[in-house]
Chain A
Amino acid sequence: MVAAIEIHQLNKRYGALSALEDIDLSINPGEFFALLGPNGAGKTTLISILAGLTLATSGHAKIMGHDVVTDYVNSRKNLGVVPQELVFDPFFTVREALIIQSGYYGIRKNDVWIDEILHRLDLTDKADTNMRALSGGMKRRVLVAQALVHKPPVIILDEPTAGVDVELRQALWIFINQLNREGHTIVLTTHYLEEAEALCNRVAMLKQGKIVVLDSIRNLINSIQGFSVQLRLSSETLPTVLQEWPRSSHEGLHIFKIKDYFQVETLLAVLRSEHIQVLEMQLQQPDLEEVFVRIMGVESSDVS
């Protein structure tokens, strides 16, 4: 079976700066794959190399078996990219932009498919509107539509939901999910880890140009032992027993690490015996964000 994306020993350097280091990655057809990492980790550089927008310093990359440099015509025909930047051509209407984009891929009379993507992205009303007159969210939809005019088997979305309202985000994911079920391979980068967790099967985490984790989301979450209880209490000071408990505290909110549900009982028993009341309580299951934070060693507010 030919891999949807095959990356071998890929390096990209900008002078002394190493943007990507020895990247090896194989993504199978039909996968829904997430590429995660903080800003500057090299996600967009990697996507740009796959798309032919950037040239690698060394190494190879293939899309559906076609080398992105030596066989760029076929690799690009097999790939649809939704760029991160909100770009558009102000001279044209939505439909014109899509007809032109089809032509670049050697496709004429693409009206049936264009009508379908317009419909599925809820753009039919805007088909004859000039690109300039569209809102940011609408422009984002057109970018998605432009990436799909040639029905590419592999679709890469670089932060497609950044700055997009909830309604569109959900509509977009329903659409992308449908495409995935129809057999398209999807690769996405996103700010929202819960999005990646809900949608993707497998994830690669990049840190300073290297892949530090490559696994299924289920394995990653299962790798985290135990979970935590978040409590707000009636007393400022904690009983001595609890002060030694593995925990973190922030503005009166205490997060206790626990191994199993039985420990919740122990915790509450201590509080009861000290006559401390629980004002607020929440159980936290391990999630992708927790995995991410552990691996990246950063605060979750820096997540991107």
Chain B
Amino acid sequence: MIGFYTLFYKELLRFWKVSFQTILAPILSSLLYLLIFSHVLETRVQVYQGISYTSFLIPGLVIMAILQNAFANSSSSLIQSRISGNIVFILLSPLSYLEIFLAYIGAAVVRGLLVGLGVYGATMILYEVPLQLPLWVLLFAITGSMLLGALGIIAGIWSEKFDQLAAFQNFVILPLTFLSGVFYSIYSLPSGWQYLSHLNPFFYIVDGLRYGFLGTSDISPYFSLVVVISCLAVVSWLTVWMLKSGYKIRH
């Protein structure tokens, strides 16, 4: 347990020491999205009856920030350690692959939640944001950041260069988050795109978390939770298998 706790603490310390970049910067960019989109669309778009576009948008921005930062934390930590070579300190130690997995996921969840909380807190200064069912919010925030934390581990291990990690981030994670209904309800899309959106696991995280804020969503939050947990189980299994087999890190 001490081993896991130490690596977890080290991972927290790592992002905390550069919190301008890892926490404040993503909060600021989320706020910019909010200011611009709500200014342009507030009077033109209404997704749900009786809910303003800004109220619809804020939960989306919160979860987008959570997901992106959870991914960024585990992936960038791993690729930096691998490229600079200091991952050797972890590999030489008796830490088990499960301890390594849990520590990286744990730190990704903490950073995701901190940024999410920051975005939510900052928007509260400017707008009134409803929070109907906080437990659902927490549930999707945690499972969502765990999923992205695990994907970050996979990306960090698979990538051999910063360039490859950036490709993973920009060509996989970014489109999946932008097209998951952060800015719109997927029911406003043509049916083909609606169908495709249902194949995007991030959609269920966004929709589920929004249910927690607004008390209304595109689909049942129970169904979303099942999908998210199933994805989490599969991705976690893959991640643990990669760590256990030493894929790309123990030659």
Contacts and interface: CB of A to CB of B under 8 A. Distances in A.
A81 B90 CA distance: 12
Contacts of B9: 100, 103
A108 interface: yes
Contacts of A85: 85, 88
Interface stretch (A48-56, A188-196, A275-283): A48-56
Interface stretch (B51-59, B91-99, B156-164): B91-99
A76 B97 CA distance: 14
Interface string B1-32: 01101110110011001100000000000000
Contacts of A74: 94
A105 interface: yes
Contacts of A129: none
A198 B9 CA distance: 43
Given A89-B86, A91-B17, A52 B5 contact: no
Contacts of B86: 87-89
A104 B13 contact: no
Interface in A52-84: 52-55, 72-74, 76-77, 79, 81, 83
A299 to B, nearest CB: 31
A185 interface: no
Interface string B96-119: 100000000000000000000000
Nearest to A77: B94
A77 B2 CA distance: 14
Nearest to B6: A103
Contact of A107 (B2, B5, B88, B90): B2
Contacts of A96: 13
A52 B2 contact: no
B246 interface: yes
Given A72-B94, A77-B94, A104 B89 contact: yes
B49 interface: no
A90 B10 CA distance: 12
A283 B92 CA distance: 46
B188 interface: no
B78 to A, nearest CB: 13
Interface in A112-164: 146
Interface string B119-144: 00000000000000000000000000
B44 interface: no
A55 B7 contact: no
A101 interface: yes
Contacts of B91: 51-53
Given A91-B13, A103-B5, A103-B6, A52 B88 contact: no
Nearest to A85: B85
Contacts of A81: 92
Contacts of B13: 91-92, 96
B5 A51 contact: no
Interface in A14-62: 48, 51-55
5 contacts: A52-B91, A53-B92, A54-B250, A100-B89, A104-B6
Given A91-B18, A108-B2, 10 more contacts: A54-B251, A55-B251, A73-B96, A89-B81, A90-B84, A104-B6, A104-B7, A106-B2, A106-B94, A107-B2
Interchain residue pairs A-B with the least CB separation, the first 10 = A103-B6, A104-B93, A87-B85, A76-B94, A73-B94, A106-B2, A89-B86, A87-B86, A100-B10, A54-B251
Interface of A: 48, 51-55, 72-74, 76-77, 79, 81, 83, 85, 87-92, 96, 100-108, 146
